[in-house]
Amino acid sequence: MQLRFSHNAIKVRDLAVMLDFYENVLGFQVTDRGPLPRPGSPEIVFLSQVASDHHQLAFVDVPQDSDVPDTLLHMAFRVSSITDVREMIKRLEEDGLATDVETVTHGNAWSVYFRDPEFNRIEVFCDTPWYVPQPIVVPWDPEMSDRELFEHTEKLFSNEPGFGPMEEWTAAQAEKVGEET
């Protein structure tokens, strides 16, 4: 299994200033945004410069006066398949050094989140065939068969506004960022 770096999620104290800088100076575009799906949670904003990645960065808004000791929320690695995600879960269970192991689907990905031995949060995920507006966080059962997981995920999100094939979202995003398809 090969882990390919995908994105970082970071905490920001001044979302407007950070968005202005990353959009107008660095050239990123907002791909999605909204409150995290937990009561009282802050807003998360997803940014990318390329059509192939829903996001290369995610900003989580924290209060300006907060004493956040670090800004990295998590770093993420993409794998090729759900088989690889399941293999990572197995490795984590066998090794025993990772903590806070949690499987979630965002509709557009099946993920396992965990903390490494120094408590850094890591996400290992594979893409689903769908685009689902973010943020969405729903647990999934790694004991489901691939077919059950596919059907379960499609059923969970198919009625969400904006749900559709990832190829369509990628083509629209390519047009927005000026990439040829």
Per-residue tens of pLDDT for the chain, all 181 residues: 899 999 999 988 889 999 999 998 888 999 999 988 777 788 999 999 998 899 999 999 887 776 766 788 899 999 999 999 999 999 999 988 889 999 999 999 999 999 988 788 999 999 999 999 999 999 999 999 999 999 999 999 999 999 999 999 999 988 888 877 5
d(CA 121, CA 86): 18
Output Rg (C-alpha) for the chain, integer angstroms.
17
* pLDDT tens digits, 45-64: 999 999 889 999 999 988 77
Q: What is the DSSP string of 60-110?
A: EE--TT---S--EEEEEEE-S-HHHHHHHHHHHHHH---EEEEEEE-SSEE
Amino acid at 121: R
- What pTM does this model have? 0.83
